[in-house]
Structure 1
Amino acid sequence: VELVAVLEQMGRRLACTPLYSSACLAANTLLVAGSDAQRQQWLGRLAAGETGTLAFSGPKANWDAASVSLHCKREGNEFILNGESRFVPDGHSADIICVAAREAESAGNEAVSLFILDANTDGLSRVWLPSMDQTRKQAHLEFKNVRVSADALLGAQGDAAQNLEVVLDLARIAIAADQVGGAQQALDSTLEYLQERVQFGRPIASYQAVKHKCADMMLKVEAARSALYYAACIADQTLAGVAASLALREAASIVKGYASDAYFFNAGCGIQLHGGVGFTSEYDIQLYFKRAKSTETFLGGGDFHRARLAALLLDDNQPGPQPGQLSSQQGQLRA
């Protein structure tokens, strides 16, 4: 919960730092999948100031364990990694790389493993990817016969898909905090402009139609914030071993889907209410619009998560929460 509060305020200022990739991707991967010895070794380096990230998405940019396209092969006491991973947050500058890879000829959630390695490992090349939002850097990583020892394996070989999904759900909640902060700032900066801009002898903030749009923006922010802190509580319980991963999956999709839509709505309305100057560099609202779009697609947008929730709650073949499970968890949180 404390991390979410920090990330929300960072989202308000579009903070361009590696905190998200280091704390919400690399550190959580170690917490979820690493052994005590691995945590002591690698988390100590992160705490000392080194940066980290997680590489899992293939060229098609799907956002689940099934999208892993990097291949791994075991030879004796080593693993050989080959392939590529794209859209890796801060991947061009990170010191520590957590990697998801699968065995050849496998598909879906089968035979997925997690590894951790130094960024300067032989055979690993990293290229910065230009994107719409330059306040959050992404990279393309290519692995050519990268050899890592068996000690680099996080968890059991070929059995990391569930752990990876938990890490990604935690990351979705974290990025939703950034979205809520950005949506709030898009509203606040727009209100400030509306009170300054005068047309027909009065501030345009006084016009009823403008007030209606601002009320819609506020509604989006407050609803997203409510979902965010509920999801943050579920994340805390999951890391503590109290809540099940299915509860985390549900909460993560609720907040990521809604916060993605809310941020893009607020940033788009902010552009419109600023008028022609909204897309100019004179006002910051255009920066929030870019961040809103980049975070909307990252780790799945609203459509992705609504379909995920539908599969979780309605598909008979998909194990979902039992009737009343969500309400009982909310009661525990209130207690």
Structure 2
Amino acid sequence: MPAVEGENEDRTALREAVRDVLADHASPEQVRAALDAGPSEALWSALVKVGLPTLHVGEELGGQGGSPGDLAAALEECGVALAPSPLLSVGVAVSLLAATGAPSVPALLADAAAGSVVTVALAEGSAGWLAAPGTSAVPAGDGWELTGVKCYVTDPVGARLVVSATTPDGPGLFVVEPGVATVEVHGGLDLLRPVGTVTLSSAPATLLLEGVPAAEALLTWSRTAAVLLAAEQVGLAQACLDLAVEYAKVRVQFGKPIGSFQAIKHLCADMLLAVEGSRSLLWSATGILDDGRGADPTDDEAELVCATTAGHCADAAVTVAQDCLQVHGGIGFTWEHVCHLYLRRAKADEVLFGSPSYWRERAVSVLERQVAAAAS
């Protein structure tokens, strides 16, 4: 993938560094091997050395002092390569830890910066990520105990968990250490990203934040999580576009490259529009997050842009991945070809932090508030 027009030299250098790591540790052959072996420890170690787990957190909390846009650029490159690593899981969990501002956060981020995996455990059944949790939290000595079941937890094995639960004083956010919860990994649609269910049975936990501040932290975090996921989706959509165009140049039918046929031309043109539209929205959303406006729960523009980006990029990634497979024809449906891996990730990402319809509802809510305010 070429350099992104308009990015500064630092971010361009970051992309190049990530591409070098991916070239060494996430080649097509290495990605294929991860289908059996699981996420690559060598790749994760290399990404940690680049400083990616806490890249987007301020130095005052122990982070690298970068911005969400920096991590988004790295995740876009990882999306291109289908990188089998927990970077997305760790990135969004670190964002939630930072959003709480709890005294224990610097120590937790130091562990993450050293390569310790941390992931969020928020969803329960069909309820949304921000729904009132059924998991209960009760005081126990100097700490807390949590009881409940969390679903759709990405990269859960051996990971520290950031868990939402209901306390006597309202919603709460907690840290659960590895080994104190029962983790069951099940076969997900994305064969390169482990997903599991976490069962908590009077599991010891440390409180980060509770009450209204916890609810606000979850709201603002959801914007960052959605935009970071959108970056991965833009990357995989770009990879699918590149695959389709390259195949259309070399696949010959009726004596001509299929790229010379009008139907294929139009399909590739539509794919290009979807990718560039997604990248434009991602650019706007990361700009808002980098300015710190995403952390304000009352900022309607931040909510509108991030929600619109999340919904559009999810749809675009799925559409482009499906069109890529269509361009490839019969070979695209085979196990040996990479098309299905991109489509699987696109479909899994589509609902990872909320479906496109959920994000559009959030965007429409902003517009309704603005219309009501203008009419009053």
> Same fold judged by TM-score > 0.5?
yes
Unaligned runs of 5+ in 2: 1-68
Deviation track 1:121-175 (CA, whole Å, cap 9, x = no partner) reads 3xx1111121111111111000001123xxx211245641111121122111001
Match of 2:109? 43
For the residue of structure 2 that corresponds to 1:145, the secondary structure is: strand
1:146 aligns with 2:214: no
User: Kindly tell me: are residues 241 and 160 of structure 1, through their superposed partners in 2, closer, same or farther at Cα, counting changes over 3 Å?
Assistant: closer
- State the distance in 2 between where 1:197 and 1:240 align: 46
User: Kindly tell me: are residues 243 and 300 of structure 1, through their superposed partners in 2, closer, same or farther at Cα, counting changes over 3 Å?
Assistant: closer
The 8 Å contact of residues 164 and 171 in structure 2, kept in 1 or not, is answered as: yes
1:100 aligns with 2:178: no
Match of 2:15? none
User: Kindly tell me: are residues 158 and 91 of structure 1, through their superposed partners in 2, closer, same or farther at Cα, counting changes over 3 Å?
Assistant: farther
1:249 aligns with 2:303: yes
The 8 Å contact of residues 69 and 85 in structure 1, kept in 2 or not, is answered as: no
1:55 aligns with 2:121: yes
1:204 paired residue among 258, 265, 269? 258
1:23 aligns with 2:23: no
Q: Which amino acid aligns with 2:327?
A: L
Report deviation, 1:47: 0.9
Match of 1:116? 175
- State the distance in 2 between where 1:82 and 1:71 align: 5
Unaligned runs of 5+ in 1: 105-109, 324-335
- State the distance in 2 between where 1:322 and 1:193 align: 52
For the residue of structure 2 that corresponds to 1:160, the secondary structure is: helix
The 8 Å contact of residues 176 and 204 in structure 2, kept in 1 or not, is answered as: no
RMSD between aligned residues:
2.2
Report deviation, 1:320: 9.1
Match of 1:333? none
Identity of aligned residues (%): 31
The 8 Å contact of residues 11 and 182 in structure 1, kept in 2 or not, is answered as: yes
Q: How many residues align?
A: 306
- State the distance in 2 between where 1:305 and 1:320 align: 19
- State the distance in 1 between where 2:198 and 2:274 align: 36
User: Kindly tell me: are residues 195 and 248 of structure 1, through their superposed partners in 2, closer, same or farther at Cα, counting changes over 3 Å?
Assistant: same
- State the distance in 1 between where 2:349 and 2:136 align: 27
1:33 aligns with 2:100: yes
Report deviation, 1:91: 1.2
- State the distance in 2 between where 1:320 and 1:30 align: 35
1:297 paired residue among 351, 358, 376? 351
Deviation track 1:279-307 (CA, whole Å, cap 9, x = no partner) reads 11232111111111000111122222112
2:156 paired residue among 91, 105, 111? 91
- State the distance in 2 between where 1:135 and 1:67 align: 30
Q: Which has the higher contact order (CA 8 A, sep 6+)?
A: 1
With 217-226 and 152-161 compared, the bigger mean Cα shift is at 152-161
- State the distance in 2 between where 1:49 and 1:287 align: 26
